[in-house]
Amino acid sequence: MLQAAHAERDAAGGKAGNSARAAGLLLAARAVRETAFGWISIALPIYWRTRGLSAAEIGTLYSIALLGSFALTVLFRRVSDRRGYRTALLASSGLWAAMVPILLVTRNPLWLGLAVALGSVSPTGKEVGPYLSVEQTLLAVMYGGQQRLRAYTWFNFIGYASGSAGALLVGALGWTMGFGAYRALLWGYMAAGLIQGILYTRLPRGAGRQGESESGADSPQNALVHNESADGGKPTGEGESLDDRKPVNGMDEPAGHPSTGQPSTGQSPAGQSSAGQSSESQSSESQSSDGRRRVYALSALFALDAFGSGFIVQSLLAFWFYERFHFDLFQLGLLFFGTNVLSALSSFGAAWLGERIGLLNTMVFTHVPSNVFLCLIPLMPTPSLAVVLLLLRHVLSQMDVPTRQAYTMALVAPSDRVFAATWTNGARNIGSALTPALAGVLLTFAAAGWPFYLAGALKIGYDLLTYQSFRRVPLRFAEHR
């Protein structure tokens, strides 16, 4: 008995260590990727401009990049279903590295369109491609309850901090190398794709492969995270505190079974064996159907928000400051270093607020004022005032990101999380893909503020519609799997 207890304890410790190792690899890969996204989103539009591309052509290329990102997200979801998450992440990283040389050797819009569509070129300075959907799902497997929100907080903090480092690198190279900085940053972008791929090789083989038993060796829970203890079903090292059971947005969980919300019948397990299994199966199917309907609705709203964001992606903001106020690469690097630092710090404010006023309230009530600041930027007569308003916006504008991710995962059953992550992130990709081309046309007139006005109005509309649609929807946020 004593030997068995020691064996169980050692196994639980090994599982927790495997989970921490996998999470560390995902965070390291995100740091590399977001650093590269941070510098390419600033340097590439100015590089294209110096090589003779028009604002409309640059905007169109970024629309193609975001459409390609959506297509890759769908494609590599299928790859992950059949071959596992690890294979999908490795293949996407290899494709990224292979496309970068095209950006260096041609100005032909057709070849550039191919490179940005397949090469994970980020116009936003943030996530493109299939990485976020996969990593977001894996983190949801590893962590539950408030710990999931904290995991997403650190996930996003590392993303923004790394984006800040990328922006600072742009400024430093612009200061020391001048025009030569552009080619150095593009070669560095290819290296980042390769480094990310090397990190993904350290993930367990077959991790997340669909069609295998959850208790099997290659399931996410066992092959990747090994995060369940042998005796309690809770993730190793995670106690269930009262805070974990706190209702979200004021909605209590349904009485009855803690996972399904079905009323308790008072019967013993033996008396419920056949009828209970049938009832649980029907309940699970009903939950999945309801959850997917909510995912479709949420995806439509996220697409609206992203449609507005497409007018002011970071690359187009850099282009606007370059054209309107004649910022050089050094000044642009410092500006977007500041915005990303503020976004990184705001992630912790999002976690603090989310635990106190609820995820949905945090998403909405921080997003509205940030978009008011956005609408005011083009009205500023001096670059200093425009910079101040942009920085103020970034104190608040990204607080909805970790809360939005945690909200999406809490809205659906565990079996629907890959579906939810793929649809919501894909909807954002395709929503934002439609507007950079239009924004490029509008930016042909350097003083025009229409991209800012349209983005602010659409994003405020998204906030109000989301709050109205979901404020009465209960969440089972304490669920640990």
For the segment 66-105, what is each residue's pLDDT rounded down to a tens digit? 899 888 888 887 887 788 888 889 999 999 999 999 999 9
Beta carbons within 10 angstroms of residue 156's beta carbon: 28
82: Cβ contacts below 8 Å, ≥ 6 apart: 209, 210
For the segment 364-385, what is each residue's pLDDT rounded down to a tens digit? 999 999 999 999 999 999 999 9
Percentage of the residues of the chain whose pLDDT score is greater than 90 = 44
Lowest mean pLDDT: which of 132-146, 175-189, 228-242?
A: 228-242
Please give the residue that has the higher pLDDT: either 222 or 420.
420
Lowest mean pLDDT: which of 219-223, 360-364, 405-409, 450-454?
A: 219-223
Judge whether 227 and 124 are in contact, CB under 8 Å. no
The stretch 350-373 carries a mean pLDDT of 91
Q: Which of 323, 325, 328, 327 has the alpha carbon at shortest distance from 446? A: 323
For the segment 159-173, what is each residue's pLDDT rounded down to a tens digit? 888 999 999 999 999
Percentage of the residues of the chain whose pLDDT score is greater than 70 = 76
What pLDDT sits at residue 476? 58
> Two tokens at 463?
């906030």
Ordered by where they begin, the domains of the chain are 13-207+288-470 (1.20.1250.20)
Torsions phi, psi of 449, nearest 5? Answer: -100, 10
3-state secondary structure of 248: strand
Question: Can you give the pTM of this predicted structure?
Answer: 0.74
Buried b (16+ CB within 10 A) or exposed e, 50-76: eeebebbbbbbbbbbbbbbbbbbbeeb
For the segment 247-277, what is each residue's pLDDT rounded down to a tens digit? 334 333 333 333 333 334 444 444 444 444 4
Local confidence band at 179 (pLDDT 50, 70, 90 cut-offs): confident
What pLDDT sits at residue 414? 82
> Two tokens at 288?
């999945």
Which residues make beta-bridge pairs with 228?
Answer: 235
Please give the residue that has the higher pLDDT: either 340 or 415.
340
Q: Which of 29, 6, 42, 21 has the alpha carbon at shortest distance from 314? A: 42
Lowest mean pLDDT: which of 106-110, 130-134, 356-360, 439-443?
A: 130-134
What pLDDT sits at residue 64? 94
What pLDDT sits at residue 422? 78
For the segment 127-139, what is each residue's pLDDT rounded down to a tens digit? 888 888 788 777 7
Q: Which of 27, 38, 44, 120 has the alpha carbon at shortest distance from 341? A: 38
Cα 303 to chain center, whole Å? 14
Radius of gyration of the chain (CA): 23
Q: Is the predicted pLDDT of residue 116 greater than 60, yes or no? A: yes
- Residue holding tokens 């994970």? 120
Local confidence band at 236 (pLDDT 50, 70, 90 cut-offs): very low
Classify burial at 82, counting beta carbons within 10 Å of its beta carbon; exposed 0-12, middle 13-18, buried 19 or more.
exposed
Q: Is the predicted pLDDT of residue 291 greater than 80, yes or no? A: no
233: Cβ contacts below 8 Å, ≥ 6 apart: 480
> Two tokens at 70?
């959506």
Instruction: Report the chain's mean pLDDT, rounded to a whole number.
Output: 79
What pLDDT sits at residue 81? 78
